A and B are shown apart, each in its own frame.
Chain A
C-alpha cells in the first residue's frame, strides 16, 4: 500500500513540477485572474485587459524574487 501511495505521490509531484514549477504563486495568480475575468464577463463588464496585466506583474515579481535568491 505504501509503495502504491509513494508512486501516486511521485506521479503527482512530477506533474506539479512539470506544469507549475518553482513558483506556485504565479499559477495561483493566473487562476484567480481567470476567475475574476469570468466574473467580470458574466456581469457584462469588459474584462480582457486583466490577464495581460496579471502576466506582466507576476512575471516581474517572480523574476525579482528569483534574482534576490541568487
Chain B
C-alpha cells in the first residue's frame, strides 16, 4: 500500500493545526489589539516565513527516504507525540470537561504601546507565538505528509486551519479562548495515535488484517479507551475528599 486515504490526512492535519491555531490567534490578536497591529502582523508573517522554510526543508529531506523505513520512523514519532496529546486530552477533559483555555486574557495583561516606529516587543511576542505554536503544526504536517506519501494534502489541511482560525480570531477575538481546546487536543491525540500505530507497524512490514480499514478499527478502539479512562478519572476524582 502506498498512500493512505486523503480525507483522513486532511481532517487530521486540519484539526491538529486548529488546536495550535487557537493559541496562536490568542497571542497574535491579543498583542495586536493592545500594542498595535503593524509590528504584530510583521512578527506573525516572519514566524510563518520561518515555519514555511522548516516545512519545505524537512519535506524535501524526508521525500528522499524510502516509504517503508520512513513510515516506521514517522509512525514511531507520531505515536509517541500523539500519545502525549492523547494522555493530556484525557486528563484535561476528565478534569475540566469542555472548558476553553485557562489563564488570563492577554488583552488584560499586555502593556499599551504608544512609541514611534517598530514595536520590537510586539514583533517578538507575535513572532515567538507563531513560531513556537506553529512548530507542532509543522511537525504534524511534515510527518503526516511523509506517512501518507502526500505532502500537498497535509500542507493544505494545516494551512487552511491556520487561515480560518486567524480569520475567526480577528473577527471575534475574545471568543477564541472559549474554543474547547482540551477536547480538540483529545480528538487530535486520538487521530495521531491511530495513524502512528498504523504506520509504525506497517513500516515494520507487518500486514494489518483489514488493510486501510484497520485505521477505523483502531480509531474506535482508542475512542473507547479515552471514554473509559475519562470516566474512571472522574469517578476517582469524585471519591477524593474535598479540602476544607
Residues of A within 8 A of B (CB): 18-23, 26-27, 30-31, 34, 37-38, 41, 47-48, 51-52, 55-56, 58-60, 62-63, 66-67
Contact = CB atoms under 8 A, between A and B. Distances in A.
Nearest to B136: A18
Interface of B: 72, 76-77, 79-81, 83-84, 86-87, 90-91, 135-136, 139, 193, 197, 200-201, 204-209, 214, 218, 221-222, 225, 229, 233, 236-237
11 contacts: A26-B84, A31-B76, A37-B204, A37-B206, A41-B205, A47-B201, A51-B201, A52-B197, A59-B87, A62-B87, A67-B91
A20 B136 CA distance: 13
A23 B233 CA distance: 18
Given A48-B207, A59-B229, 15 more contacts: A19-B77, A23-B84, A26-B80, A30-B83, A34-B76, A47-B201, A51-B200, A52-B218, A55-B193, A55-B222, A59-B83, A59-B90, A62-B87, A63-B233, A67-B237
Nearest to A28: B80
B217 to A, nearest CB: 9
